[in-house]
Homo-oligomer: A and B are copies of this chain.
C-alpha cells in the first residue's frame, strides 16, 4: 500500500516552461540510468531483493545504527525495517548487537559478507557507467560533468527539504 500523504504541494511556483526539450533530455537520461542501475544490481543480486540491497548500502555508507534510524534512511517504518533485518541477518549479511550505552536499542552492523556484496554491486555499476562514458566522444565528457553538476546543484535545494536523509540506494 501507499505511504503517507506527501504534502500536497500548493506552494509550487509556476514554472516558466524552460524548453520541454531540456525536460525530455533529462527524462530520457533518467531512464537509461535507472535501467543501468537495475542491471548492475541484478548481476550481483541473485539472492538479494532491491530493498535488501538498499539496506546494505545504507549501512555501508553510514555505519551501524539502530532499526528505527535504518528505517528512516530507507523511508519505511520500523516494523518493516525490523523484518528486513530479520531476513538479512538470517542470510548472514548483517548482525544485531545490543547497544552498550542504551539498552532499548540494538545496533545493526554489516558483516564482511554484506560489505563485500555492496562493494561488488557498486563496482559493477560504476563500471557500467564508465563504459557508457567511454563510448562518448572525449570532447563531450567535460561538458557532461559540468552540466550534471549544475543540474544536481540546482536540484539539491528542494531535495534537502522534501526528501531529507532518504537514501535512494540506486
> Within 8 Å of chain B (Cβ to Cβ): is A97?
no
Contacting pair B170 A34 (CB below 8 A): yes
Known pairs A15-B127, A23-B126, A43-B8; A34 contacts B32 (CB<8 A): no
Which of A22, A45, A125, A147 neighbours the largest number of chain B CB atoms within 10 Å of its CB? A147
A side interface size, CB within 8 A: 79
A91 is an interface residue with CB less than 8 A from chain B: no
Q: How far is the CB of A15 from chain B (nearest CB, A)?
A: 5
Query: 1/0 per residue A145-170: CB within 8 Å of B?
Result: 11111111111111100110010101
Copies in the complex: 2
Quick check: which of A99-107, A108-116, A136-144 contacts chain B, the rest being far away?
Answer: A136-144
Interface residues of A in 20-57 (CB under 8 A from B): 20-23, 25-39, 42-43, 45-49
Name the residue of chain B whose CB is nearest to the CB of A157.
B135
Closest chain B residue to A137 by CB distance? B150
Which one, B31, B47, B125, B143, contacts A168 given CB within 8 A? Answer: B31
Tell me, rounded to whole Å, the shortest Cβ–Cβ distance linking A115 to chain B. 14
> Is A131 among interface residues, defined by CB-CB distance under 8 A?
yes
Decide: B43 and A130 in contact? CB cutoff 8 A. Answer: no
Cβ contact within 8 Å between A144 and B141: no
Return 8 A-B CB contacts under 8 Å, by A number.
Answer: A1-B123, A13-B131, A26-B33, A29-B29, A30-B37, A35-B159, A38-B163, A136-B153
